Amino acid sequence: MRRGDRRPRHLEMGVLLLISEILSIGYDVIPPITLCTIIGQTLLYVEAFEVPWSKHDVCISAKKVWYDKNYKTLLLSTFEHADDMHLYYNMISFLLKGRTLEPLYGSANFALLLSILCLMTSSIYVSLGVLLSNVLNDSSLLYSCAIGFSGVIFALKIITTDNSSGSSVIMGIRVPTKYAAWAELIAIHILVPNASFLGHLAGIIAGVLYVKTPLKRIIDGVCTTITGIAALFYCLINYINRKVSFSAILEEESFLIHFLR
């Protein structure tokens, strides 16, 4: 999540890099919900279609939601981006996670999971802003405004790395993979000062709540009821440990962290 206003509609470097990455991977091998989410957010960023809001309108803050009852920002803020490189890094990171998780959940369940994580992350962000502003007596936390998909990406990172026994290198420091999201939270806060620390933290908390509490079974049950397709999350970790190597994902994400310096 970052702060920002809508930019002029043209193809900037980050958008061109993203298109190049998708073409090099092959759009036909990217799961449909993952691909549509990336395309949709890219088209929104370049203003390929008219929408009845601006980035400033949907930038989420604790004040807007808690006090002004502007609930639309809970969802719309997630899909806006501050600049082209913000879009690029988020979509590349999401692409890696989507290619892993969507086939495991099924596209319909994955779409619902994304929607739920969006609302969870935004709600936790608002709650943190209200709570910390009172505890720290700092009203600026109420007005801190953020946009972007990175909170949801942090939640997905928690899901993909939970119970992993491997390790990864973040800013030259080797950490257990299951704690990589926490290390990246600190790294991005240091390397990208205008990134939303609370937004990323909210995503991590949403992910932890999903994998470590009864919310997991409730959310999976809701997805299964709506889609009629079993959300086999209880098989996810075992399947990952047996069949899926996250070394490539971690290497690419470590590269992104390094490239931000």
- List the catalytic residues: 150, 200
Distance CA(19)–CA(260), nearest Å, equals: 20
Q: What is the 3-state secondary structure (H, E, C) of 144-206?
A: CCEECCHHHHHHHHHHHHCCCCCEEEECCEEEEHHHHHHHHHHHHHHHCCCECHHHHHHHHHH
Nearest to 9 by CA among 84, 64, 113: 84
In angstroms, the Cα distances linking 83 to 2, 13, 77, 145, 184 are 9, 10, 14, 15, 20
Pair of tokens at residue 252: 């690419």
Instruction: Return the structure tokens found at 187.
Output: 């790294």
H or E stretch including 12? none
Q: Which helix (H) or strand (E) holds 41?
A: helix 32-45
